[in-house]
Amino acid sequence: MPGTAHAEGNPIIRHVYTADPSAVVYDGRVYLFTGHDEAQPDQQAYIMREWLCFSSSDMRTWQSHGSPLRALDFSWAQGDAFGSQVIARHGKFYWYTAVTHATIAGKAIGVAVADVPWGPFRDARGTALITNAMIDAPPGSMNNLDPAVIIDDRGQAYLFWGNGQAYYARLNENMTELDGPIQKLDLPGFQEGSRLYKRRGWYYLSYGSGMPEKIVYGRSRDLEDPWEFCGILNEIAGNCQTNSGFIIDYQGRSYFIYHNGALPGGGSHHRSVCLDYIYFNPDDTIRRVVMTSEGV
């Protein structure tokens, strides 16, 4: 339900359980996109039917825009609103999502589009962008999780994703078709949760590693070149098996948005999005982010 809440510290969203954050800056505001953990208190499962949108002009007071997109808005999907990311291009907003495919066993990646970040979003293709049939994965595989998207300095868009195995592919100018073959990436300890960020000529690729997950990262001068492994970015959240971090710049500061299980009743299936500052070393590596209750 739309409304406004001011959070003193972390978690930044407290009226619902949220997970798998990503964000964009538009018209002077940060728009935060999350999954919605809807499991009952006694359920130990990822029950996620929709994605949520919030916005802020100060990173402390967050306005809810409700749910601009649900898993079943993709007619070919069976459900499961898992990890996702929104990116702006050509005056549109493209939302890349992981869902369960209704007819091709396993997870699949879809893309929705809207004119404004709060939606509503609609399926941009009418079919999945990525399925298990395209990556030669075993039936029922969860390989197609956590899409991440970035546009390089040449204007070429890329999609990264994976669970257990990391993949990437170029995207067409229209952002709804692949522009070349799917490539495998060999990343140390890769589990899931690919996220991308660019700063001062470096591309940074972070991801969840191990189980329970910590976030580690690598960097490269080019998205198609090998990645230099740089170590841990964010440690294990004590009461949550997963972790997912997204970096964004806003009003001269850099922020790390992530999830843990810090809300009352929280845990692996009842997660909550948090926010802390992120800092860089003189050599452009990233200082390890420490989760705080104070936030920003």
d(CA 260, CA 269): 10
Kindly list the catalytic residues: 20, 192
Q: In the numeric block, which tokens belong to residue 175?
A: 């952002």
